[in-house]
Structure 1
Amino acid sequence: VLDRTGEGVHARVDVRPYADEDHDWWVLSDLTPGLDGAPVAVTAEHVLGISPASSSLAQLTVREPVATALDLGTGCGVQSLHLAQHTGTVVATDVNPRALRMARLNALLAEVDVDVRDGSLFEPVAGERFDLVVSNPPFVVSPATAERLVYRDSGLPGDELVRRLLTEAPGHLAEGGRAQVLANWVHRRGETWQDRLSGWLAGRGCDVWAVQREVADVAEYTELWLKDAGLHGGPAYAETYDAWLAWFEEQGVEAVGFGWLDLRRVDREPVLRLEEWPFEVEQPLGPQVADRARRTDWLAATSDEALTAARLTARVDVRQETQGAPGAADPETIVLRQQRGLRRARRADTVEAGLVGACDGDLTVGQILDALAQLLAEDPADLRRDRVPAVRELVAEGFLVP
């Protein structure tokens, strides 16, 4: 743990306290590069400690009791500590021998039982299925020839690791099981990121909710990860920087997106939703992910006729914002905004705002739309038909609750 030299005593590893709402742990990892202000190049087998990404995944994960869970690319084992609190059997995998040793030690320190296995992607769990898979994989998009740091670089070019992980995950999910993954993906010229991910995930028997949280241009992205490796200001920085940019140009990559995905195995026609949400959210998001899945199931099982007969309620944290000239009879804009969770905001017209405001569980959607049609002098049948898609969207986004 400590090194004694002529200059004094120095830490060899990072040992720090870590906790959830009910447990306190100690987590062992390698030292954070540059923590003392001096940039230090990390070694190939560097084991990352508690990071913003690992914390984000922990807060994204749905914490419902399950029988089996897989922590793919466990690193120092932080996710496994959380999983062990609501899972019967936890399996953790990694390709880094040093990470495997630290994950075992951290499980021992926390007094939790984790089956730690060596291997890449799903190779160590061939033929096995899980109720929950979580992964903060080595997703950094870089040239395959770049010097490899195992904790962040897979050795595969571009976002190939993410593609393999996402396409193989459905085959390792039990019925109703879910995979929750942090990832980077490239933005290629002539292709949207939604089309790229949809091409990987369509037809694989899983609902998909993908949220892009950030986008970095290739120069910004390269600077970020070279600095992370401790190369900033070093003799190899300029050459490595140019090599990365040349590779991005050769591949037609204009930017890199960062976000998360929730895949859930279903026995019906899957629903894919891929969206951007770069705004502040309330953590933890796990309960919101679980609630959205329940709403998706409800919508999939509800016909348009049944939807108009449903008695919905507006979520209690939804607020209406209006903007317009003082004294004007009608507002110029109406925005419905959630105060909790993902904190969605949605522009609405008079009908949508009136519908959400009247949804208190007493009247059906159809009755409310009929009343609005009468107030606005519109045909009730036309209004019902035209507004059903918007009602579905309001439920999907959590403004209305079944």
Structure 2
Amino acid sequence: MSTTSLPSPDHSPRLRAALLAADFTADGLLELLGASAYAALARSETVPALRATRGDTPLETLVRLFLLQRAVPGERAEAALPLDAALTDGWVVRDGDRITATVDVRPYGGPDGQDWFIVSDLGCSVGGAAGARGHGEDVVLGVGGASTTLAGLTVRTPVDRALDVGTGSGIQALHATQHATRVTATDLNPRALGFTRLTLALSGAPAAELREGSLFDPVGDETYDLIVSNPPFVISPGARLTYRDGGMGGDDLCRTLVQQAGDRLNEGGYAQFLANWQHVEGEEWQERLRSWVPRGCDAWIVQREVQDVTQYAELWLRDSGDHRSDPQAYAARYDAWLDEFEARGTKAVGFGWISLRKSGAAEPSIVVEEWPHSVEQPLGESVRAHFERQDYLRARDDAALLAEHFVLAAEVVQEQVGLPGAEDPEHVVLRQHRGMRRATKVDTVGAGFAGVCDGSLSAGRILDAIAQLMGEDPVLLRDRTPQSIRLLVEEGFLEPASAPVPGSPAARGAAPGPALG
């Protein structure tokens, strides 16, 4: 168990100024190390970075000291840092003429070009969870793929109150300070709260209110406009590691977090989580997740990956370094994971995103889907737009939909698929090049409809023109098409001209295109 005391933030402004003066930033690291060595750091491979920092500049000294955890000569540390303050506050320690860091400090670029720093336990700022090997149960990790994924997913509209549940080293709280008036961060691990304080102070961000405790216990009945959490979601046969093992059976921790979030959200507020969930024999995983959604909330749940139980157990045994332990101990722990899954009827484990929005709707929108394909981060604006589209569609029946004017969303292209030389394509695909990067097959009517949606004609008038061109009964075409239009709107291919998403053709005031003749 980690018992070392944490640095004091008393002189963090002086330390921050020195780090910036040395260009110890995300951009500075990339320029110094080069793309190859920089990428290797994210894989916990340090040799390329060591080779690139054999000089004696302040930046090279800081990389070796805080990122690579190598002792540096005292005179080099003094040239790069306000050394007396760093020693007094406990950021570094002296051993003879050598200076060693007590914590990881990783440069991290904010969404608007901010130079931030994530402070975590030694060995945990590079390579994500892999850095946890050999640490105690209360280890605090630095920034990794999961934390940056959640940061990119989060809706970034200005809010009064934001809550980061299970803050860890404070990455989500740091992002929230940029658009929330008040930020509260909680964690069961008191060391995590200490690291969050350091991350915020060294990044020059406003302080957050820090509270110790599990899930929503520290905040009672208080409500928020935004709740975010990258919780200890690993489904394991115990709670050995606080940062990853929730200590509840199966996926109960994630379920509890989602279900209890509804009562802590203000009207119109968002709650966004990363989560793992069980695929249980004889149960549809989509229905399992639907049952988690709290009353009064719309939900968008996206499964990004599925692993069978053996892959899942091996992943997290490697994460904790058990594969490097005694073979018999490794086998026993592996066996315990499989016993746990067998007892619960678990055949696989899913990983993904859960976004809630407190709508208060009598008929909530709950979308559960599998999307393993590439996406374009950040997706916060896509999440916000998804829920706004649900509001729009919920308020309009088919007749109202046909009276609306639509525009094709930005960067949607049409692809025709068929054999080379064929007179007509086998099918037509609409494809997005932004956000979720969806693709959907459409028929001739759908392709023609989308192609002329420029906001100048109502949906009904476009369908009447298509019916005339194709020799179809316009009444029948109007009857059968609204569901297809509804799907194109729901998935973001079409946008209402009356309320366009920022950056869309309608929002830019695009000129009407040619009308159907």
With normalisation by structure 1, the TM-score equals: 0.95
Alignment of 1:296-315 (within 5 A): 296-315=390-409
Distance 2:272 2:124 in 1: 28
Alignment of 1:161-180 (within 5 A): 161-180=253-272
Distance 1:4 1:349 in 2: 72
Does the C-alpha gap of structure 1 residues 394 and 180 become closer, same or farther in structure 2, counting only changes over 3 Å? same
Distance 1:49 1:242 in 2: 30
> Is the CA contact 1:39–1:231 (under 8 Å) kept in the aligned structure 2?
no
1:344 is aligned to 2:438: yes
Q: CA deviation at 1:18?
A: 1.3
Alignment of 1:134-213 (within 5 A): 134-143=228-237, 146-201=238-293, 204-213=295-304
> Is the CA contact 1:206–1:265 (under 8 Å) kept in the aligned structure 2?
yes
Q: CA deviation at 1:253?
A: 0.6
Alignment of 1:277-316 (within 5 A): 277-316=371-410
AA aligned to 1:50 is: V
**Greater strand share, 1 or 2?**
1
Distance 1:367 1:374 in 2: 11
Stretches of structure 2 that go unaligned for 5 or more consecutive residues are: 1-90, 497-517
> Is the CA contact 2:119–2:125 (under 8 Å) kept in the aligned structure 1?
no
> Is the CA contact 1:141–1:159 (under 8 Å) kept in the aligned structure 2?
yes
Distance 1:166 1:129 in 2: 14
Q: CA deviation at 1:399?
A: 0.2
SS at match of 2:456: coil
1:320 is aligned to 2:414: yes
Q: CA deviation at 1:33?
A: 6.0
Could you tell me which residue of structure 2 aligns to residue 244 of structure 1? 337
Distance 2:155 2:491 in 1: 18
| Residues 85-115 of structure 1: CA deviation (Å, up to 9, x unaligned) | 1101100000001111111222222331200
Distance 2:415 2:344 in 1: 44
SS at match of 1:373: helix
Does the C-alpha gap of structure 1 residues 33 and 93 become closer, same or farther in structure 2, counting only changes over 3 Å? closer
Residue of 103, 107, 110 corresponding to 1:17: 107
SS at match of 2:228: strand
1:46 is aligned to 2:139: yes
Distance 2:124 2:212 in 1: 26
Alignment of 1:52-63 (within 5 A): 52-63=145-156
| Residues 305-350 of structure 1: CA deviation (Å, up to 9, x unaligned) | 1100111001121111111123323211211100111100111111
Distance 1:67 1:34 in 2: 31
SS at match of 1:81: helix
Distance 2:423 2:93 in 1: 74
Distance 1:181 1:344 in 2: 22
AA aligned to 1:224 is: L
Residue of 77, 83, 98 corresponding to 2:176: 83
SS at match of 1:185: strand
1:215 is aligned to 2:309: no
> Is the CA contact 1:33–1:42 (under 8 Å) kept in the aligned structure 2?
no
| Residues 363-395 of structure 1: CA deviation (Å, up to 9, x unaligned) | 111111122222333221222121111111100
Does the C-alpha gap of structure 1 residues 191 and 5 become closer, same or farther in structure 2, counting only changes over 3 Å? farther
Distance 1:226 1:178 in 2: 34
Larger Rg: 2
Stretches of structure 1 that go unaligned for 5 or more consecutive residues are: none
Residue of 102, 108, 118 corresponding to 1:27: 118
Could you tell me which residue of structure 2 aligns to residue 396 of structure 1? 490
With normalisation by structure 2, the TM-score equals: 0.74
Distance 1:237 1:4 in 2: 38
Q: CA deviation at 1:209?
A: 0.4
> Is the CA contact 2:162–2:225 (under 8 Å) kept in the aligned structure 1?
yes
| Residues 285-308 of structure 1: CA deviation (Å, up to 9, x unaligned) | 011111122211111112211100
Q: CA deviation at 1:15?
A: 1.0
AA aligned to 1:194 is: Q
Alignment of 1:112-131 (within 5 A): 112-131=206-225
> Is the CA contact 1:33–1:230 (under 8 Å) kept in the aligned structure 2?
no
AA aligned to 1:98 is: R
Q: What is the total number of aligned residue pairs between the two structures?
A: 399
Give identity over the alignment, percent: 53
Q: Which has the higher relative contact order, 1 or 2, with Cα contacts under 8 A spaced 6 or more apart?
A: 1
Could you tell me which residue of structure 1 aligns to residue 465 of structure 2? 371
> Is the CA contact 1:148–1:154 (under 8 Å) kept in the aligned structure 2?
no
> Is the CA contact 2:276–2:351 (under 8 Å) kept in the aligned structure 1?
yes
Does the C-alpha gap of structure 1 residues 222 and 122 become closer, same or farther in structure 2, counting only changes over 3 Å? same
> Is the CA contact 2:125–2:143 (under 8 Å) kept in the aligned structure 1?
no
Q: CA deviation at 1:250?
A: 1.8
Q: CA deviation at 1:9?
A: 6.3
Does the C-alpha gap of structure 1 residues 147 and 301 become closer, same or farther in structure 2, counting only changes over 3 Å? closer
> Is the CA contact 2:106–2:125 (under 8 Å) kept in the aligned structure 1?
no
1:261 is aligned to 2:351: no
Q: CA deviation at 1:178?
A: 0.8
**Greater helix share, 1 or 2?**
2
Distance 2:132 2:458 in 1: 62
Distance 2:318 2:95 in 1: 28
